[in-house]
């Protein structure tokens, strides 16, 4: 009886995992964007965007980076989510759009930014890798 119960439980879990992965794959195939996100101290947003731009054939312009930084600096309400905008980049010869959202967390006089970047799957993988590299290089 316990073996039967274990088997039923295993089948339910396996079925749930299968549905989750099939549904996710179908969603991505239908063109839904994926996201990469990370917490930054406010002063690290600009340097990260500059470094990220180097991995693209054509990344963010200096003006776009200044705009993003300025928009985030202007956010005054704790935990408020703000859509910064959608920016074109070129990756492997193809144009891709990166949509950026920011949420700030204010503690005393310090602002921490949760930066979320949405794009197609291959671009999000690159963004995620660059976020991890940025953290590791700075010991964050």
Confidence (pLDDT) at 36: 87
Task: Write down the CATH number for the domain with range 33-138.
Answer: 3.30.450
- What is the pLDDT tens value at each position of the chain, 140 positions in all? 555 444 333 333 444 433 333 333 333 444 556 888 888 888 899 999 999 999 999 999 999 999 999 999 998 888 889 999 999 999 999 999 999 999 998 887 788 999 999 999 999 999 999 999 998 988 87
Q: Where are the alpha helices (DSSP H) in the chain?
A: 2-29, 45-53, 62-73, 121-138
Answer yes or no: are the C-beta atoms of 99 and 85 closer than 8 Å: yes
So where are the chain's domains?
Answer: 1-32, 33-138
Tokens of 97: 């759009």
In this structure, what are the phi and psi dihedrals at residue 33, rounded to the nearest 5 degrees? -80, 150
Q: How far apart are CA 116 and CA 100, in angstroms?
A: 6
Confidence (pLDDT) at 78: 87
Tokens of 26: 């179908």
| Tokens 């099939």, located at residue | 22
For the CA atoms of 8, 13, 15, 19, the dihedral, rounded to the nearest 10 degrees, stands at: 160
In this structure, what are the phi and psi dihedrals at residue 56, rounded to the nearest 5 degrees? -95, 155
Strand partners, 110: 107
Q: How far apart are CA 4 and CA 82, in angstroms?
A: 51
Confidence (pLDDT) at 16: 42
Q: Using alpha carbons, list the distances in angstroms from residue 53 to 60, 66, 106.
A: 5, 13, 27
Answer yes or no: are the C-beta atoms of 102 and 84 closer than 8 Å: yes
Confidence (pLDDT) at 32: 59
Confidence (pLDDT) at 82: 92
């Amino acid at each position: 009886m316990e073996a039967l119960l274990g088997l039923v439980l295993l089948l339910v879990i396996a079925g749930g995992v299968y549905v989750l992965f099939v549904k996710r794959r179908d969603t991505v195939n239908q063109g839904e964007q994926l996201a990469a996100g990370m917490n930054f101290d406010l002063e690290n947003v600009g340097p990260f965007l500059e470094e990220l731009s180097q991995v693209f054939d054509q990344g963010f312009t200096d003006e776009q980076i200044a705009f993003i930084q300025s928009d985030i600096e202007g956010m005054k309400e704790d935990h408020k989510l703000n859509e910064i905008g959608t920016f074109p980049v070129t990756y492997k010869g193809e144009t891709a759009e990166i949509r950026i959202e920011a949420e700030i967390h204010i503690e005393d006089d310090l602002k921490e930014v949760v930066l979320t970047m949405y794009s197609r799957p291959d671009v999000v993988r690159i963004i995620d890798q660059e976020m991890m590299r940025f953290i590791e290089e700075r010991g964050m």
